[in-house]
Amino acid sequence: MMSGDSASPIVLFLCTGNYYRSRYAELLFNAWAPAQGLAWRADSQALALESGADNVGPISAAVIQACGSRGIALPQSLRYPLAVCEADLRAARRVIALKEAEHRPLLAQRFSGWQDRVEYWHVHDLDCGTVADALRDIEGGVVALLRSLAMQS
């Protein structure tokens, strides 16, 4: 189940393994949202946790490095990737999957009906792009999302 203040609206980022793409989006969002005056909180989870069986440690070293270079403090205790459940989808005000071609089929298979209720970004995983490209695209998406939420409040 997701963490955070239950009074805060939640944006839930989804990727396949919850190891680098969705985790980076979560960390950026939570670091930058307060500067926009937003009470929103982000969380992240996996649609296919079993796909990350070869991941080492709780989070990608590239995410740790990217956060460090941007002055974003990491939680003292880094959690391991988590699998999403339907209650998490229902609890979130917004759900964003990080690559439509990859995640729409997983949502349709595992959470029928949710595939059309989720927003999709187009951030490639390592099979189609580089870590640097993915992190750049996630940053752009988070900045645009924060601007949009700030305009709505």
DSSP string, 104-124: HHHHHHHSTTGGGTSEE-B--
With 50 as the cut, is the pLDDT of residue 3 above it? no
Rounded to whole angstroms, the Cα distance separating 110 from 101 reads 15
DSSP state of 69: H
The count of domains in the chain is 1
Residue 39 lies in a domain: yes
Residue 94 lies in a domain: yes
Task: Report the predicted TM-score, pTM, of the whole model to 2 decimal places.
Answer: 0.93
Rounded to whole angstroms, the Cα distance separating 60 from 57 reads 7
Residue 145 lies in a domain: yes
At 76-112, the pLDDT tens digits run 899 999 999 999 999 999 999 999 999 999 999 999 9
Residue 3 lies in a domain: no
Sorting pLDDT into bands at 50, 70 and 90, what band is 147? very high
Identify the CA nearest to 79 among candidates 16, 30, 19: 19
> Which residue matches tokens 């203040």?
5
Rounded to whole angstroms, the Cα distance separating 123 from 92 reads 21
* pLDDT for 6: 56
Identify the CA nearest to 4 among candidates 83, 96, 107, 93: 93
Residue 115 lies in a domain: yes
Type of residue numbered 119? E
Q: Which residues contact 52 (CB under 8 A, 6 or more apart)?
A: 16, 17, 18, 19, 46, 81
Rounded to whole angstroms, the Cα distance separating 136 from 62 reads 12
The sign of the torsion formed by the CA atoms of 32, 59, 126, 100 equals negative
Q: Which CATH number goes with the domain that contains 142? A: 3.40.50.2300
* pLDDT for 153: 75
Residue 5 lies in a domain: no
Residue 2 lies in a domain: no
Determine the structural domain holding residue 117 and report its residue range: 10-152
Residue 1 lies in a domain: no
